Amino acid sequence: MAAMTTPICDFGWKAKGFDLPGVDGSNYSLADVSGANGTLVMFLCNHCPFVKAVIGRIVRDVSELAGHGIGAVAIMPNDVASHPSDSFENMKLFAAAHDFSFPYVIDESQAVARAYEAVCTPDFFGFDVSGGLQYRGRLDESRLEPVAGARRDLFEAMKHVAGSGAGPEQQFPSLGCSIKWRAAA
């Protein structure tokens, strides 16, 4: 497990389009998952201990953010040949086990992860209603163990984006497992 941190937010950087298959049998584009007040694009996977440690809070926060007009999608970017626990079939099981209320899609070519310059799982990209990046940070201060009374950084940031269109100036990088890139041919 190679732990990586995300870069700081590049405010205004535009969301990249995609069309990816979801575990529910439908394909999803950026337009399909965009909310009335913003969009959260998350890079997640099934096997990462960092994702496993926070997945319950991710599901809770995304569900609550929907009430603020924030749409969401989770993209699985890893090479499934080297990490079969992240296979499409296992994605279906993971989403069902954690009651995902948002699309969970696979980026088999890894082109979307590269376009977003994603570095780890979890990696969170919060966009305003115009598709400009307003948040690139952590879920909260916990890593592999919950921190009692931790501020809900992602939730608070995206709630602020929904209300004002702007993300917080102070943001803390997310920490997670490196994306498992396919070997160059």
30-46 tens-digit pLDDT: 999 999 999 999 999 99
Contacts of 48 (CB under 8 A, 6+ apart): 1, 121, 122, 176, 177
102-157 tens-digit pLDDT: 999 999 999 999 999 999 999 999 999 999 999 999 999 988 888 888 899 999 99
Peptide linkage before 122 cis (omega within 30 of 0) = yes
Per-residue confidence (pLDDT) for residue 5, from 0 to 100: 82
Per-residue confidence (pLDDT) for residue 2, from 0 to 100: 63
